[in-house]
Amino acid sequence: MKLKGRKIAVLAEKFYEDLELWYPVLRFQEEGADVTVIGPKVATYESKHGYPVTTDLASSAAKAADYDAVIVPGGYAPDHMRRDPAMVKFLADAGKSGKLVAAICHGGWMLASADLVRGKRVTGFFSIKDDVVNAGGKWEDKSVIVDGNVVTSRVPGDLPDFCREIIGLLAKTAVGA
């Protein structure tokens, strides 16, 4: 239980990529983390394929200080997430305070909106490259990139690398580690 005592927020919105939300949620719970799913409202959001997730907390009530990490799954959800100022502020507050922030696939859109890619090496789904570069990120095509407190990956096939890096970083400072 490498993440015992760790609190992780996973962001959700409509049209999230199924694996990119559920794989980290379950993997981090398996390691003992307390995982909270946060959306614009406490509601049920459907994935790209119609699979539902019910959020535990509204973004307007979320405080970055309460979490050790924030995970942004991809799909079309990040485009909807960045329309919610409270969700962008939550992510920005987490990243700027040194908390681990991680995004996969289109999740880099949220990192860009929260001004967390400037000067960072990052990756993501190839179609967001221009957005991330224009936000000041240094684009690389790799399965996972860790640059300081920012972790990024490209696609669902990168999830094992993505989660391994997040778990490794959080385990270094976990309660009882």
Among 97, 77, 94, smallest CA distance to 11 is for 77
106: annotated active-site residue: yes
* DSSP single-letter state for residue 174: S
What is the rounded CA–CA span in Å between residue 65 and residue 82?
20
* DSSP single-letter state for residue 127: G
Amino acid code (one letter) for 38: I
The residue from 14, 80, 106, 154 that is catalytic is: 106
Residue with tokens 């050790």: 68
Angle between helices 159-171 and 18-30 in degrees, nearest 10? 40
Q: Give catalytic residue positions.
A: 106
